């Protein structure tokens, strides 16, 4: 009985050491964007929205035991309106599956996929989407922000798969970089050019917003040991 | 669309007209003040923390009530470390100050203990939930800014009178809404507030001072 107790305690200690080792190696980061996007069509078509304004937030994070690669996930929420037709518009997505390649203190390029929903009354039917997004954020205080997204319309109110939506954004943040408490971070306002192709209609516009980035210092497995 | 972009652009720059002075009032009357300050970098643009400062008539030091701190201070209006860029939201003086001081001294400890026990940084309950609950329990008719994320935390689902006492709100952690004579319309999405304030007029934004327009009530 004593032997069993000793073995159990030792196993428990080893298990705790494994967990502590794992916790020591975990590193990651996150980004938060508040965005306001205004888009206007460049094709004179009756199908899609003429002008669209969306305001929302994007929260993404990544975590790993590697200093270079990490798993990532995120959530995007945006609400707005189709300006000239006075309709309600929304575009939300949950992107739980993805990975990033970390570059520098808080910079990264990455890809993520998931599920979403969007609609814009009265010009775009409510639809469930399967988005695949590539994103990059490079720099610290001054930071390049970019993303491109392909969203497959898995189901729409008209009853079937019909189309896809392409979106892109490329911008520049003028902000600050911090190293408070040993964590690299940054924040600031940004402006970006935006593109959206929906229901055969191309739209271009401007995104303005505020972004925050925060990460743990990158360290190799050897550093942690 | 250009107008919308301009308005929101100014909002992102964090414009609030007519902010209250941070000069401390005289100590000839009992005074209670509600203030907020920004969190540290990089959250300073999107998150604020509240504290109540209470000073009885004739006293020189202020008694501070908040989550994660408290005690006495000489000037919690301009310096309340580690929080930056303080904003004064409301002052109660004289008889109103006496009533507010008595109530805050009586309820703040219990509310803080409960928040401490269940504390979650985001979406709440947190220090901003403390501020909102004390305002409502003491019927103080004031509002925390939109960047006080957690002020509208009412649990899984909750409804009731707003802290300003001229409106109603229904809240869940995902979505909520506040409607009021002064409060206007405020929509909450995962703790973020967006809306239109009726009095004083302003657009409510989850950034900077929390509003674009005239400073809060």
pLDDT in tens, A57-69: 999 999 999 989 9
**Helix (H) / strand (E) containing B128:** helix B127-137
pLDDT in tens, A164-193: 899 999 999 999 999 988 899 999 999 999
pLDDT in tens, B107-132: 999 999 999 999 999 999 999 999 99
**pLDDT tier at A160, thresholds 50, 70, 90:** very low
Interface of B with A in 130-189 (CB under 8 A): 189
Closest by Cβ to A38, choosing from B5, B45, B189: B5
Q: Report the percent of chain B where pLDDT is more than 90.
A: 81
pLDDT in tens, B167-176: 999 999 999 9
Q: Which pLDDT belongs to residue A48?
A: 63
Contact A185 B42 (CB under 8 A): yes
N-to-C CA span, chain B: 29
Between strands B211-214 and B16-17, the pairing is parallel
DSSP state for residue B83 in the 8-state scheme: B
Question: Considering chain B, what is the average pLDDT of its residues?
Answer: 91
What span, in angstroms and rounded, lies between the C-alpha atoms of B34 and B71?
15
DSSP state for residue A47 in the 8-state scheme: S
| A96-100, A218-222, B96-100: the lowest-pLDDT one | A218-222
Q: Which pLDDT belongs to residue B15?
A: 64
Q: Which pLDDT belongs to residue B47?
A: 96
For residue B98, count CB atoms less than 10 angstroms from its CB and return exposed for 0-12, middle for 13-18, buried for 19 or more: middle
Mean pLDDT of A88-111: 94
Closest by Cβ to B1, choosing from A77, A83, A210: A83
Mean pLDDT of B180-196: 92
Closest by Cβ to A209, choosing from B12, B40, B189: B12
DSSP state for residue B20 in the 8-state scheme: P
What span, in angstroms and rounded, lies between the C-alpha atoms of A222 and A184?
21
Contact B207 A51 (CB under 8 A): no
What span, in angstroms and rounded, lies between the C-alpha atoms of B118 and B126?
8
pLDDT score of B199 more than 70: yes
Question: Considering chain A, what is the average pLDDT of its residues?
Answer: 85
pLDDT in tens, B26-56: 999 999 999 999 999 999 999 999 999 999 9
State the complex-level ipTM. 0.80
Q: Comparing C-alpha atoms, which of A86, A81, A32, A76 is closest to residue A56?
A: A76
Does B12 reach chain A within 8 Å, measured CB to CB?
Answer: yes
Chain A residue with the nearest C-alpha to that of B44: A187
pLDDT score of A129 more than 70: yes
């Amino acid at each position: 009985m004593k032997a069993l107790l000793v073995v159990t305690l030792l196993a428990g200690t080893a298990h705790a050491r494994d967990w502590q080792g794992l916790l020591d190696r975990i590193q990651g980061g996150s980004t938060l964007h508040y965005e306001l996007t205004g888009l206007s069509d460049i094709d004179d078509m009756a199908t899609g929205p003429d002008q669209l304004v969306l305001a929302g937030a994007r929260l993404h994070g990544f975590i790993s035991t590697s200093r270079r690669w990490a798993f990532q996930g995120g959530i995007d929420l945006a609400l707005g309106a189709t300006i000239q037709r006075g309709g309600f518009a929304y575009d939300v997505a949950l992107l739980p599956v993805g990975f990033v390649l970390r570059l520098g203190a808080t910079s990264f390029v990455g890809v993520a996929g998931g599920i979403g929903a969007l609609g814009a009354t009265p010009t775009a039917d409510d639809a469930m989407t399967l988005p695949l997004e590539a994103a990059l954020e490079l720099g610290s205080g001054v930071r390049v922000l970019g993303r491109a997204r392909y969203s497959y319309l898995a189901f729409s109110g008209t009853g079937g798969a019909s189309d896809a939506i392409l979106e892109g954004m490329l911008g520049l943040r003028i902000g600050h970089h911090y190293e408070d408490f040993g964590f690299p971070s940054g924040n600031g306002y940004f402006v970006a050019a935006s593109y959206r192709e929906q229901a055969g209609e191309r739209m271009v516009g401007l995104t303005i917003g505020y972004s925050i980035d925060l990460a743990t210092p990158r360290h190799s497995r050897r550093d942690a040991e | 669309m250009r107008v919308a972009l301009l308005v929101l652009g100014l909002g992102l720059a964090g414009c609030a007209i007519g902010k209250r002075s941070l000069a401390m009032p005289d100590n000839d009357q009992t005074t209670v003040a509600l203030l907020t300050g920004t969190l540290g970098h990089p959250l300073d643009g999107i998150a604020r923390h509240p504290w109540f400062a209470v000073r009885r008539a004739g006293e020189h030091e202020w008694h501070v009530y908040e989550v994660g701190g408290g005690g006495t201070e000489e000037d919690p209006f301009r310096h309340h470390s580690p929080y930056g860029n303080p904003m004064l939201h409301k002052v109660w003086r004289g008889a109103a100050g006496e009533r507010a001081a008595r109530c805050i001294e009586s309820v703040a400890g219990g509310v803080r203990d409960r928040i401490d026990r269940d504390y979650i940084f985001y979406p709440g309950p947190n220090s901003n939930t403390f501020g909102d609950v004390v305002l409502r329990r003491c019927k103080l008719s004031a509002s925390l800014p939109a960047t006080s994320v957690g002020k509208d935390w009412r649990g899984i689902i909750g409804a009731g009178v707003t802290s300003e006492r001229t409106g109603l709100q229904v809240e869940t952690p995902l979505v909520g809404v506040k409607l009021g004579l002064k409060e206007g319309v405020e929509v909450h999405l995962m703790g973020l507030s967006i809306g239109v304030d009726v009095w004083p007029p302003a657009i409510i934004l989850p950034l900077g001072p929390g509003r674009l327009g005239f400073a809060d009530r």
